[in-house]
Structure 1
Amino acid sequence: MEKSKAIKKLEKLIERAEPLKNSHRFEPDFEKWKRDTAITIDHIFGKDSNHKREFSKIGYSLLYATNNTTNSERQAAYEKGISSATIMLQSMRDEVQEFWSETESDEESSMSANTIVELIINRFHQVARQLRHRYNNRATLDIDDEYDVQDLFHALLKLYFDDVRPEEYTPSYAGAASRTDFLLKKEQVIIELKKSRKTLRAKEVGEQLIIDSQRYQAHPDCKRIICFVYDPEGLIANPKGIENDLSKEMNGIPVSVFIRPE
Structure 2
Amino acid sequence: MKKEEAIEKLKRQIQLIDNLKYIIPGTQYREKEKLFIKWKRDTEILIEQIFEKDSRHIEEFKNIFYSISAPNSLTNQQEYERQLKQGLEKGCPILESMIKEIEDYWDENNINQQPIILTLDKIKILCNKFDLFARQIKNRHSNRSTIEIIDEYDVQDLFHALLTLYFDDIKDEEPTPSYAGGSSRVDFLLKQEQTIIELKKTSENLTAKKVGEQLIIDITRYKSHPDCKTLICFVYDPERRIKNPRGLENDLSKTTDGMIVQVFIRPI
TM over 0.5: yes
Equivalents in 1 of 2:19, 2:219: separation in Å?
44
Q: What is the aligned partner in structure 2 of residue 64 from structure 1? A: 72
| Conserved 8 A contact 1:18-1:82 | no
| Conserved 8 A contact 1:58-1:81 | yes
Deviation, structure 1 residue 155: 0.7
Aligned length: 244
Choose the corresponding residue for 1:118, options 110, 120, 124: 124
Q: Which amino acid aligns with 1:104?
A: Y
1:12 and 2:21 are equivalent in the alignment: no
Q: What is the aligned partner in structure 2 of residue 70 from structure 1? A: none
Equivalents in 1 of 2:127, 2:95: separation in Å?
32
Q: What is the aligned partner in structure 2 of residue 104 from structure 1? A: 105
Deviation, structure 1 residue 131: 1.0
Q: What is the aligned partner in structure 2 of residue 151 from structure 1? A: 157
Counterparts of 1:179-258 in structure 2, within 5 Å, are 179-258=185-264
C-alpha offsets along residues 111-131 of structure 1, whole Å, 9 cap, x if unaligned?
722222122112111111111
* Distance 1:6-1:189 versus aligned 2 partners, 3 A rule: farther
Q: CA RMSD in A?
A: 4.2
TM-score scaled by structure 1? 0.71
| Conserved 8 A contact 2:56-2:121 | no
Q: What is the aligned partner in structure 1 of residue 111 from structure 2? A: none
| Conserved 8 A contact 1:189-1:225 | yes
- State the identity %: 47
Q: What is the aligned partner in structure 1 of residue 184 from structure 2? A: 178
Equivalents in 1 of 2:140, 2:175: separation in Å?
37
C-alpha offsets along residues 129-172 of structure 1, whole Å, 9 cap, x if unaligned?
11111011111111111111101001111111222221222223
SS of the aligned residue for 1:144 comes to: coil
| Conserved 8 A contact 2:196-2:228 | yes
* Distance 1:241-1:34 versus aligned 2 partners, 3 A rule: closer
TM-score scaled by structure 2? 0.69
Gap runs ≥5 in structure 2: 107-114
| Conserved 8 A contact 1:189-1:226 | yes
Equivalents in 2 of 1:196, 1:94: separation in Å?
37
